Amino acid sequence: MARLVSINVGAAQHIDGYKPLTGIIKTPVQSAEIGKLGIAGDAICDRKHHGGPDQAVYIYFADDYRFWATELGMRIEPGLFGDNLTIDGVEGRLVAVGDRFAIGPVLLEVTSHRTPCMTFAARMGDRGFVKRFHRAGRPGAYCRVLEPGKVERVTTVTYQPYEGDRVTVAELMALDGQRQLDPDFMRKALNVPIHYKMRDDYQNKLASLF
């Protein structure tokens, strides 16, 4: 059975040695209101690359955190990677676009993977962590909010796998940085409720083939 083990909210602040303001440093809270554009009170400082209706909530999975605890040889608390919600009982790498998470009155739908950036590397204190995170293939999932509401920590989560084509977050992450994408994969991805920016990108790439 899946459950919500942590709700994490971040204020805009600086990381030592890193100039831009960021909301990646999260603090656990007992409950939070989730609206169409995310969690109330959670700072989104770089709106060009973060936030918006198709990146309203970022989920990371407890099984992936357990992997990183072993990989890094350290205790890891939920929210370390900037996740808004930490969910246990779901295998993160197998989560796909269109999968849904019902948490109390809230309904979330997966849209895409997380692409690591230098803010993430600064948060981890490791300039090489972007490549390390990418190689691990455990990106977590960005979600749109289909039904807003209030969530409470330690709530049962109903995981609803998408019934159509499976385009996993791990598959999407593996394509980061690749200019030439398989046309059949892009057509497959356009059949699922993928992030609107990726949809536009894939449509444009396919149109350029003709």
Token pair for residue 5? 């083990």
What is the residue-averaged pLDDT of the chain? 94
Token pair for residue 64? 């992936």
Evaluate whether 163 touches 130 at the Cβ level (below 8 Å): no
Dist. CA 131–CA 85, nearest whole Å: 23
Evaluate whether 164 touches 190 at the Cβ level (below 8 Å): no
Residue 70, judged by CB atoms within 10 A of its CB (0-12, 13-18, 19+), counts as exposed
- Helices 129-136 and 62-72 meet at what angle, rounded to 10? 130
Dist. CA 45–CA 56, nearest whole Å: 13
Q: Is the pLDDT of residue 51 over 90?
A: no
Each residue's pLDDT tens digit, 143-196 = 999 999 999 998 899 999 999 999 999 999 999 988 899 999 999 999 999 999
Dist. CA 77–CA 26, nearest whole Å: 10
Q: Is the pLDDT of residue 112 over 90?
A: yes
Q: What is the dihedral of CA 202, 206, 209, 210, to 10 degrees?
A: -150
Domain ranges of the chain: 2-176
Dist. CA 33–CA 167, nearest whole Å: 29
Please state the rounded mean pLDDT for residues 23-47.
92
Does domain 2-176 fall under CATH 2.40.33.20? My reply is yes
Q: Alpha carbon 8 to chain centroid distance?
A: 13
Strand ranges (DSSP E) for 42-180?
57-61, 85-88, 100-103, 106-112, 141-147, 149-152, 155-160
pTM of the model: 0.95
Confidence of residue 87 (pLDDT cuts 50, 70, 90): very high
